[in-house]
Amino acid sequence: NAGVTQTPKFQVLKTGQSMTLQCAQDMNHNSMYWYRQDPGMGLRLIYYSASEGTTDKGEVPNGYNVSRLNKREFSLRLESAAPSQTSVYFCASSQSQGGTGELFFGEGSRLTVL
Amino acid sequence: AQSVTQLGSHVSVSEGALVLLRCNYSSSVPPYLFWYVQYPNQGLQLLLKYTTGATLVKGINGFEAEFKKSETSFHLTKPSAHMSDAAEYFCAVSPRAGGYNKLIFGAGTRLAVHP
């Protein structure tokens, strides 16, 4: 009954370091998403993958890259971390591609960039 | 472009009182509408959604919301607040065409419930 699993849950980086956030879902969903959550700004879409083998930019893609490794896994990479990327990152998945489906979220990864 | 406005970043109510969280959207075509709830240190979970049909939608935990096209609103209500309702609530929209569930979220409203 895992749903969407994100690792790590917490990470502290220095400016310029790189890291990858991992996400896996066990619900056989087609679509996966990466959001960032900042105080007073809600959640903003970074990248999404409508189906295995495809990825597209969301609202705030600069400074990030993604990989849809297979149907289950969708990773988010920061190549050269900046303090502005300090945030809580959420991975989500959904079955429907028609815009009516429910998103299932992971518990979040809290990233601090010093 | 679509946008979502949640009026009031913080709302405080007494236990047993009415909960009203406001959401207005901006879109030339009515989008799909959602309310999500986030408890401390957790991800978001769906409370309810409106896609088509009856404009009054009932969700989990006694919450409901009404889609009003003329007011471009989708306010969330609960007749009687419980301590366990304390959380952050997000209104979200998704375009009806080609949306791929690319939800656009409001800034959130933090609900406090006091005895």
Closest CB to A97: pick one of B45, B51, B100: B100
Beta bridge partners of A34: A47, A91
Q: How confident is the model at residue A98 (pLDDT cuts 50, 70, 90)?
A: low
Residue B111, both tokens: 């609900």
Q: Does B102 touch chain A (CB under 8 A)?
A: yes
Chain A residues with CB under 8 Å of B49 CB are 100, 102
Between CA A47 and CA A54, with CA A53 as vertex, the angle to 5 degrees is 35
The alpha-carbon gap from B100 to the nearest alpha carbon of chain A, in Å, equals 5
Q: Does B40 touch chain A (CB under 8 A)?
A: no
CB neighbour burial string for B26-57, b if at least 16 within 10 angstroms, e if fewer:
ebeeebbbbbbbbeeeebbebbbbbbeeeeeb
Flag if A42 and B107 touch (Cβ within 8 Å).
yes
Q: Answer yes or no: is pLDDT of B99 > 60.
A: no
Helix (H, G, I), strand (E, B) or coil at A26: coil
Let me know: does B91 contact B23? Beta carbons within 8 Å. yes
Closest CA to B34 of B46, B52, B25: B46
Instruction: Categorise residue B28: left if φ over 0, alpha if ψ from -120 to 50, beta otherwise.
Output: alpha
Q: Does B14 touch chain A (CB under 8 A)?
A: no
Residue A67: per-residue pLDDT = 97
Write the pLDDT tens digit of every residue in B19-64: 999 999 998 777 889 999 999 888 999 999 998 888 999 999 999 9
Let me know: does B35 contact B63? Beta carbons within 8 Å. yes
Chain B residues with CB under 8 Å of A32 CB are none
Mutate to test the interface with B, among A9, A10, A30, A37 (most CBs of B within 10 A): A37
Q: How confident is the model at residue B96 (pLDDT cuts 50, 70, 90)?
A: confident
Which range among A51-55, A103-107, B97-101, B105-109 shows the weakest confidence by mean pLDDT?
B97-101
Helix (H, G, I), strand (E, B) or coil at A51: coil
Flag if A106 and B43 touch (Cβ within 8 Å).
yes
What is the C-alpha separation between B106 and A8, in angstroms, rounded?
26
Closest CB to A99: pick one of B4, B42, B94: B94
Instruction: Categorise residue A41: left if φ over 0, alpha if ψ from -120 to 50, beta otherwise.
Output: alpha
Q: Does A113 touch chain B (CB under 8 A)?
A: no
Flag if B105 and A42 touch (Cβ within 8 Å).
yes
